[in-house]
Amino acid sequence: MSPAVAILLVGGAVAASCALLGTFLVLRRLALLGDAISHSVLPGIAIAFLLTGTRNTLPMLAGAGALGVLTVFLVEALGRSRRVREDASIGLVFPALFSIGVILVSRFAYHVDLDLDCVLYGEIAYAPWDLLTLGGRELGPRALWVSGGILLANLVLVIALYKELKLGTFDPGLAAALGFSPVLVHYVLMSAVSVTVVGSFESVGAILVVAMLVVPPAAASLLTERLSRMLVLAVLLGLASTAGGYGVARLLDCSIAGAMAAVAGLLFLIAFLFSPSQGLVARLLRRRRLRARLAGQLLMLHLRESGAPRPRADLERRFGWDPATLDRVLRRLRAEGLVAAENGGLRLTAGGGLALREAGLDQVAHRD
Amino acid sequence: MSLALRNVLLGASLLGMLGGVLGSFALLRRQSLLSDSVAHASLPGVVLAFVLTGSKDPLALLLGALAAGVAGALFILLVTRQSRIREDSAFGIVLSVFFGVGIVLLTWVQRSPGGNQTGLDRFLFGQAATLMASDLRLMALFGVPALLLVFLLFKEFKLLSFDRGFAASLGRPVRALEMLLTALLVLVVVLGLQTVGIILMVATLVAPAAAARQWTDDLALMVPLAGLIGGVSGAVGALASHVLPQMPTGPAIVLVATAAFVLSLLAAPRRGLVGELLRRRGVSLRIRRENLLKDLYSEGEAAGGGRVAVPLARLLARRDMPRRCLRRALRSLTGAGLVERTPLGLRLSPAGEVAAAGVVRKHRLWETYLSRFLELDGDHVHRDAEDMEHVLGDDEVAALEERLGHPTVDPHGEPIPPRGAP
Amino acid sequence: MNPDATAGALPADGAEPAVEIHDLTVTYRTKPVLWDLDASLPAGHLVAIVGPNGAGKSTLLKAALGLVPRNTGWVKIFGRPYEKQRRLVGYVPQRESVDWDFPTSALDVVTMGLYGGLGWLRRPGRRERATAAACLEKVGMADFAGRQISQLSGGQQQRVFLARALAQDARLYFMDEPFAGVDATTERAILELLQTLRAEGRTVVAVHHDLQTVAGYFDHVVLLNMRLVAAGPVATTFTDENLQRTYGGRLTVLSQAAEALTRQKPFARDRAS
Amino acid sequence: MRRTILVPLIALALAVPGCGERQADDGRPLVVTTTGMIGWLAGEIAGDNARVVSLMGPGVDPHLYKASGGDVRRFDEADLILYNGLHLEGKMVGILEKMSRRRPVVALADSLPADLLRALPGEAVYDPHIWFDVSLWARTVPVVERALAAVDPTGAGAYREAAARVTDELVSLDGWVAARIAAIPERQRVLVTAHDAFGYFGERYGLAVEGLQGVSTVTEAGLQDMDRLVDLIAGRGIKAIFVESSVPRRAIESVQAACADRGHAVAIGGELFSDAMGAAGTPEGAYPGMVRHNVNTIVEALR
């Protein structure tokens, strides 16, 4: 397997896992949970080091996993107490846990280079050479097995519990009334999130995971109105970010994970600007069209009131629009045959009267 | 006192106060994690500032961080205003994408032949123990005007945090106010970054405000209280790291502030969890006791008056509650000398009869009131009444009786015992 | 007051009550919301729960569904605890209780009503979707099946919720203010629906705000004000005389006492922080 | 808004030379090293017989190194990989160990006898900063030479000659350092820096080494650590303390301010290269120049 293929597969598997779970996190307003976990696992690795005395991957992963679960549990419990909202509870939990970690490392592992970057967070660039060997046989990149396994588990989870996750996210009250304990569903989802996040940290590092949990699902939410399509789109956007990011990283010789996050951001920006239904441009155009139609109707009402053709200058004075705006409005009305020129002035055509009636404006008098 | 201690005490207290005050508004506006987002988002600004100036001059890096932080915050405002993306997602997007771009830049600079670029990302993880006089000056320079601004615009910020639409309808320049409040937040975050680091900054903005929120419902109290908690946490954390060996200052402050929050969460008088648990148990027990007294009294009424012994089974049948709950309520009543155990069953003591008559009187008066004055809308007595005691306190019952014209029977035709009757 | 109209009376026909409430007390923090409530709601009727703001109407529904913890007492649905009778019960929550921006269609929301019958893990199929479409049809929303729910008007959203309840095919429906903030068309549609449900022998227990329409829309009424004030057939309970007394006086003493307790509470209604 | 970032980004892409550099495979073996220090060693020994590429460019602290897209290619094409080991390169070490099963990958520190390594107190781990002890660094020369010869037997003779020359250079450098340090008055031989990297240096040349914070970048100083350090500096009348290229200056500046407050004026002696070397093309961009710079800086300030 060539290194590029391995990196793309590992990155794709991580991106897909994160996009699947991230969709539900985004809908549940817990988008920053990934970042919170990326900080709060520090005491986990410190404790694992103190207990085992090594910086081997397995104990680090176990410690980090335990702290990941503890983090989501604490965030959930604080939110459930109804004394602080989820966002504040995230902001309370992770600094406290991280601080405990810093104190542990500073006091008990002063002379050891024990930090998240060097013992937990993996680097996707090295994934192709970190091979899994079993009984002396090499079975391909370890990160691919880990992230592939996580992806498989997440796929099974989301497909099997799709209905429960959807109902529990949309209407927890009904879910509870129907006997689908939303608390249980929440804990299943959150455990999946912490396992996925910690496992992926170990394969590809923190920034890629945090980005893929939020950015592709958020972009997908701008492009569709269906949860199932949002999941698929989020995965696709995640894969596109992976591929594009790797290309950028090779081209510019820069961090692969960082480039993937940046490309994901670029895709989000494109969705934000150009989504056909939700995009900024579409919104602005709609708003402009609406305003133009309104202006046209105002003008037509005025022409109907006055009965006789009105000179252009009169209209200009009457509405106080600048000549360019008036030109635009008139051009459209004339092109549609609603207003016609007559005797150096403008009058409403029969079609224009019909259009006003269709718009329900036949009874409306245009007052000053 | 050593210089370091003095600096850190002053700096941490000032930063804590600032964080508490601005964090209060952030908490109410669901912007608690804006700090986290902006702090991470400042990385590309730091790296670009290094690239452009070619030096690690702290001021240049600070300005770079500020520029990127402001860009991130503006992007968050834009996205949340102009699309269905919600705050938490916008925070996450800006945090991860900006940070990703920062890493891209960092690896790029890493390849440049210039050298000396390493450790730029350490800019984001300042150390509280190394606060210097120059940092204090910088904090005072920006922090004191920020506090003053909050003081002057308190009314506007309050309105904005509570009801944005209403603020706009009053003709307040909502967008400008929002930008100003956000800009103040970004400023504090970036100021805090290189002096105390991301993590302490987030904690400073969230924990004191969340702690203060537990003690009061009044923003005018909450804001100064959060400032106080923040300031005191800073000072206590600094002292802890002064007294204990190898106790990093920033994390100590975070833990003190978190402890203040946990304490508030548990022990605050009205919202506190412990109080609620106790009250809840108390309320349940009290209801059961009153129900039992009432039952024993009505058994007596049914038998033509006086105290009669009622078998336990009969009480259980009346109430259909778990035996365990009944036993506990009975133990409490016999312990108070209100109920006696007799071979035939349970019986009110003379004192118990008076108490029971009081309970029945209250309940029947209350029922009479409720059925007569079923006020629809505008009647907030139940919603606002704080607990059972106040709903049925003696004074209220007396006034109620007055209001109802001293009725003698309740809506069901049952007699209402007169005051003090056995 | 008419003895028939008092608490705890069984329906005249003696059939098993749809909902039986015994000794129910629910407090929020230390505030009593429902207090020592005994009531029995007859099956096969449209029952309105009426009472002032904060009288515990929604709480009563939620307590019956086990969505809020009870301090004392129990609620039985057709003689057994709710947990054993889920399949017999449909629930229409208040419209504000869900996120209407959620990426899902009207048809999809209605299909959710069928989830209870599917149990864990099984997915809705073509049959479920057909049932859901039929339910949408019944509330006059067939044309909007594919519409994203945020693009529906308030009344249309309410009708989607009702269609979802229909899909649940329950014997007993709990509805939390089904008529709140809907347009006239929707109001008519809901009313017809309620009558159909009653004709099919189902029971509807609905929190209702508009006193003017209680007599027209419902046949039973529960007057609730933290405690049960009265319950019974509309004809005997919701009398002019009762209403006269209900609206007769304005309360002074207690509200003053209560206000003194609760001054300075700008955020009293905001859930947390 | 995004444009405000993209424009300088693109400008930078055009401005930074060496981006996407792709040297033609001229048949010479490609040696990839992690740190610049190892890169210098390999370059000196290999001469023109091999191409040497360091992943961590000048001024890059291995603790803080972030991999880039090009590393994938560099690893993939490498005929020999040389790294420090002892967990200096963090998680990369584990991967390099696995890689060593398939191709020549050599950890320099692993070849040193364990009794020469500094065991860290209370832990079963060693201090990885071996290059600060020049004599120890000289002992890695044969390791590099053997590794090169194994990859490229035809150049073995040239490598042996070059190795002998480098060893001589390092041995004389070692002597020079020892002599220079001896010029510092005994009482003044205390090296105060922000973080704890100079252990080998201190042990070899007789300086006490004091850092404000631990080895890991995640550790943080407490006020008591600060006071302890200030007590030490003021108590022994130490003349100067040092900033490091990879750690923000402010930590050491605040120690200086605290000393001044105690009435002891301590100078900032200059900037030391701790885990990285200087810019390429300058004397500090090579190992001996870097060592000389550090030693001269220390001696000038403390004498």
Convert the pLDDT of each residue in D148-176 to its tens digit.
999 999 989 999 999 999 999 999 999 99
Report the CATH number that the domain containing residue A209 is assigned in CATH: 1.10.3470.10
- Co-location of D167 and D191 in the same domain: no
**Higher pLDDT, residue B213 or A310:** B213
Query: Is D295 part of a structural domain of the chain?
Result: yes
Give the model's pLDDT for residue A343.
75
**Higher pLDDT, residue D45 or B174:** D45
Give the model's pLDDT for residue A236.
96
- Co-location of A287 and A213 in the same domain: no
- Co-location of D160 and D190 in the same domain: no
Helix (H) or strand (E) holding C242: helix C240-248
Asked whether D86 and D114 are in contact (CB, 8 A), the reply is: no
For residue A160, what are the contacts with CB-CB under 8 A and spacing of at least 6? C121
- Co-location of D63 and D140 in the same domain: yes
D chain contacts of residue B241, beta-carbon cutoff 8 Å = 222-224
Q: Please name the residues between 193 and 252 in chain B that touch chain C, using a CB distance below 8 Å.
A: 210, 213, 217-219
Size of interface A-D (CB pairs under 8 A): 144
Helix (H, G, I), strand (E, B) or coil at A352: helix
Residue carrying the six token digits 């299943």: A188
Query: Is A364 part of a structural domain of the chain?
Result: no
Query: Is D86 part of a structural domain of the chain?
Result: yes
Amino acid identity for residue B135 in this structure: D
Convert the pLDDT of each residue in A285-314 to its tens digit.
988 888 888 888 888 888 877 777 778 777
Name the band, by pLDDT with cuts 50, 70 and 90, for residue C270. very low
Query: Is A367 part of a structural domain of the chain?
Result: no
Give the model's pLDDT for residue A152.
96
Q: Residue C11 carries which DSSP code?
A: P
**How many residues are listed for chain A in this entry?**
368
Contact assignment for C102 to A169 by CB distance below 8 Å: yes
From the CB of residue D119, how many other CB atoms can be counted at a distance below 10 Å?
13
- Co-location of A91 and A172 in the same domain: yes
Contact assignment for D75 to A126 by CB distance below 8 Å: yes
Query: Is D12 part of a structural domain of the chain?
Result: no
Cα(A17)–Cα(A198) distance, integer angstroms: 12
Closest-CA residue to D181 (of D41, D274, D294, D61): D294
Report CA Rg, chain D.
21
What tokens were used for A151?
């992806």
Q: Does the structure show a pLDDT above 60 at B386?
A: no
Closest-CA residue to B210 (of C28, A36, A40, A91): A91
For D93, phi and psi rounded to 5 degrees? -60, -45
Q: pTM score, two decimals? A: 0.83
- Co-location of D171 and D187 in the same domain: no
Query: Is D15 part of a structural domain of the chain?
Result: no
Name the band, by pLDDT with cuts 50, 70 and 90, for residue D225. confident
Query: Is D298 part of a structural domain of the chain?
Result: yes
Give the model's pLDDT for residue D45.
93
- Co-location of D271 and D152 in the same domain: no
Where is average pLDDT lowest: B54-68, C221-235, C247-261, D233-247? Answer: C247-261
What tokens were used for B128?
């509280």
Where is average pLDDT lowest: A314-323, B394-403, D294-303? Answer: B394-403
Report the CATH number that the domain containing residue D51 is assigned in CATH: 3.40.50.1980
Q: Does the structure show a pLDDT above 90 at D145?
A: yes
- Co-location of A295 and A248 in the same domain: no
What tokens were used for A106?
């500073």
- Co-location of D168 and D190 in the same domain: no
Q: Residue D216 carries which DSSP code?
A: S
Convert the pLDDT of each residue in C47-104 to its tens digit.
998 877 667 888 898 888 888 888 778 888 888 888 888 888 888 888 888 888 888 8
Q: Does the structure show a pLDDT above 80 at C109?
A: yes
Q: Does the structure show a pLDDT above 90 at D177?
A: yes
Q: Which residues of C111-133 are buried (b: 16+ CB within 10 A; e: fewer)?
A: bbbbbbbbeeeeebeeebbebbb
For A331, phi and psi rounded to 5 degrees? -60, -45
Bridge partners (DSSP) of residue D47 are none
Q: What is the mean pLDDT of residues C151-158?
A: 87
Q: Does the structure show a pLDDT above 70 at D9?
A: no
Convert the pLDDT of each residue in A150-167 to its tens digit.
999 999 999 999 999 999
The CATH number that domain C3-98+168-261 falls under is 3.40.50.300
Q: What proportion of chain C, given as a percentage, has pLDDT over 90?
A: 5
- Co-location of D52 and D135 in the same domain: yes
For residue A232, what are the contacts with CB-CB under 8 A and spacing of at least 6? none
Q: Does residue A206 belong to the interface with chain B, where contact is any CB pair within 8 Å?
A: no
D chain contacts of residue A260, beta-carbon cutoff 8 Å = none
Helix (H, G, I), strand (E, B) or coil at D268: strand
- The answer to whether chain A touches chain D by having 3 or more C-beta pairs less than 8 angstroms apart is yes
Q: Does the structure show a pLDDT above 70 at C246?
A: no
Q: Report which listed range, A118-122, B312-316, C100-104, C250-254, is most confident.
A: C100-104
Give the model's pLDDT for residue C10.
38
Name the band, by pLDDT with cuts 50, 70 and 90, for residue B421. low
Give the model's pLDDT for residue D26.
72
Cα(B37)–Cα(B68) distance, integer angstroms: 11
Q: Does the structure show a pLDDT above 90 at D71?
A: no
Give the model's pLDDT for residue B114.
59
Name the band, by pLDDT with cuts 50, 70 and 90, for residue B219. confident
**What residue numbers bound the domain in which A198 lies?**
3-275
- C247, C262, C264 ranked by CB distance to B218: nearest: C264
Q: Does residue A80 belong to the interface with chain C, where contact is any CB pair within 8 Å?
A: no
Cα(A167)–Cα(A183) distance, integer angstroms: 12
Cα(D218)–Cα(D210) distance, integer angstroms: 18
Give the model's pLDDT for residue C186.
84
Name the band, by pLDDT with cuts 50, 70 and 90, for residue A75. very high
Convert the pLDDT of each residue in A41-71 to its tens digit.
999 999 998 898 877 888 888 999 999 999 9
Cα(D59)–Cα(D49) distance, integer angstroms: 26
Where is average pLDDT lowest: A85-99, B12-26, C251-265? Answer: C251-265
- Co-location of D79 and D159 in the same domain: yes
What tokens were used for D114?
């364990």
A chain contacts of residue B95, beta-carbon cutoff 8 Å = 32, 35, 210
Give CA C128 to chain center in angstroms.
Answer: 25
DSSP C33-76: EEEEEEEEE-TTSEEEEE--TTSSHHHHHHHHTTSS--SEEEEE
Query: Is A193 part of a structural domain of the chain?
Result: yes
What is the SS3 string spanning chain B? CCHHHHHHHHHHHHHHHHHHHHHHHHHHCCCCCHHHHHHHHCHHHHHHHHHHHCCCCHHHHHHHHHHHHHHHHHHHHHHHHHCCCCHHHHHHHHHHHHHHHHHHHHHHHHHCCCCCCCCHHHHHCCCHHHCCHHHHHHHHHHHHHHHHHHHHCHHHHHHHHHCHHHHHHCCCCHHHHHHHHHHHHHHHHHHHHHHHCHHHHHHHHHHHHHHHHHHCCCHHHHHHHHHHHHHHHHHHHHHHHHHCCCCEHHHHHHHHHHHHHHHHHHHCCCCCHHHHHHHHHHHHHHHHHHHHHHHHHHHHHHCCCCCCCECHHHHHHHHCCCHHHHHHHHHHHHHCCCEEEECCEEEECHHHHHHHHHHHHHHHHHHHHHHHCCCCCCCCHHHHCCCHHHHCCHHHHHHHHHHHCCCCECCCCCECCCCCCC
For residue D46, what are the contacts with CB-CB under 8 A and spacing of at least 6? D31, D52, D148, D155, D159, D162
Give the model's pLDDT for residue B225.
94
C203 Cα to chain A: minimum distance (Å): 17
- Co-location of D199 and D142 in the same domain: no
Q: Please name the residues between 137 and 156 in chain C that touch chain A, using a CB distance below 8 Å.
A: 148
Helix (H, G, I), strand (E, B) or coil at A45: helix
**How many residues are listed for chain C in this entry?**
273
- Co-location of A307 and A213 in the same domain: no
- Co-location of A332 and A249 in the same domain: no
- Co-location of D194 and D267 in the same domain: yes
B chain contacts of residue D251, beta-carbon cutoff 8 Å = 127, 130
- Co-location of A263 and A128 in the same domain: yes
Query: Is D6 part of a structural domain of the chain?
Result: no
CA–CA–CA angle B186, B188, B189 (5° rounding): 65
Convert the pLDDT of each residue in B82-97 to its tens digit.
888 999 999 999 999 9
Name the band, by pLDDT with cuts 50, 70 and 90, for residue B320. low
Q: What proportion of chain A, given as a percentage, has pLDDT over 70?
A: 98
Cα-Cα end-to-end distance for chain D? 53
- Co-location of A288 and A266 in the same domain: no
- A27, A88, A176 ranked by CB distance to C67: nearest: A176
DSSP C97-130: GS-TTSS-BHHHHHHHTTHHHH-SSPPP-HHHHH
Convert the pLDDT of each residue in B70-126 to its tens digit.
999 999 999 998 888 999 999 999 999 999 999 999 888 877 765 556 667 777 777
For residue A313, what are the contacts with CB-CB under 8 A and spacing of at least 6? none
Give the model's pLDDT for residue A332.
84
Give the model's pLDDT for residue A258.
94
Which domains occur in chain B, in start order? 3-268 (1.10.3470.10), 275-404 (1.10.10.10)
Which of A250, A275, A300 marks a domain boundary? A275
Give CA C201 to chain center in angstroms.
Answer: 18
Query: Is D275 part of a structural domain of the chain?
Result: yes
- Co-location of A261 and A296 in the same domain: no
Give the model's pLDDT for residue C12.
42
From the CB of residue A261, how many other CB atoms can be counted at a distance below 10 Å?
32
Q: Give me the number of domains chain A comprises.
A: 2
Q: Does the structure show a pLDDT above 50 at C46?
A: yes
- Co-location of D124 and D232 in the same domain: no
Contact assignment for C52 to B375 by CB distance below 8 Å: yes
Domain extents in chain C: 3-98+168-261
Convert the pLDDT of each residue in D242-295 to its tens digit.
988 777 777 888 888 889 888 888 998 888 887 778 877 788 888 999 999 999
Q: Please name the residues between 244 and 303 in chain B that touch chain D, using a CB distance below 8 Å.
A: 244-252
- Co-location of D201 and D132 in the same domain: no
Q: Does the structure show a pLDDT above 70 at D7?
A: no
Give the model's pLDDT for residue C250.
36
Cα(A165)–Cα(A182) distance, integer angstroms: 8
Report the CATH number that the domain containing residue A302 is assigned in CATH: 1.10.10.10
Give the model's pLDDT for residue A240.
96
Convert the pLDDT of each residue in A214-253 to its tens digit.
999 999 999 998 899 999 999 999 999 999 999 999 998 8
Asked whether C85 and C195 are in contact (CB, 8 A), the reply is: no
**What residue numbers bound the domain in which D282 lies?**
183-302
Q: Does the structure show a pLDDT above 70 at B377?
A: no
- Co-location of A38 and A77 in the same domain: yes
Give the model's pLDDT for residue A81.
82
Q: What proportion of chain A, given as a percentage, has pLDDT over 90?
A: 46
A chain contacts of residue B210, beta-carbon cutoff 8 Å = 83-84, 88, 91-92
Q: Does the structure show a pLDDT above 50 at D5?
A: no
From B30, which residue of chain A is nearest by alpha-carbon distance? A87
Give the model's pLDDT for residue A361.
66
Contact assignment for D224 to B241 by CB distance below 8 Å: yes
Cα(A259)–Cα(A264) distance, integer angstroms: 8
Q: Does the structure show a pLDDT above 70 at D17?
A: no
Q: Give me the number of domains chain D comprises.
A: 2
Query: Is D14 part of a structural domain of the chain?
Result: no
For residue D34, what are the contacts with CB-CB under 8 A and spacing of at least 6? D54, D55, D56, D62, D65, D82, D83, D84, D88, D89, D92
**Higher pLDDT, residue C228 or B352:** B352
Q: Residue A341 carries which DSSP code?
A: E
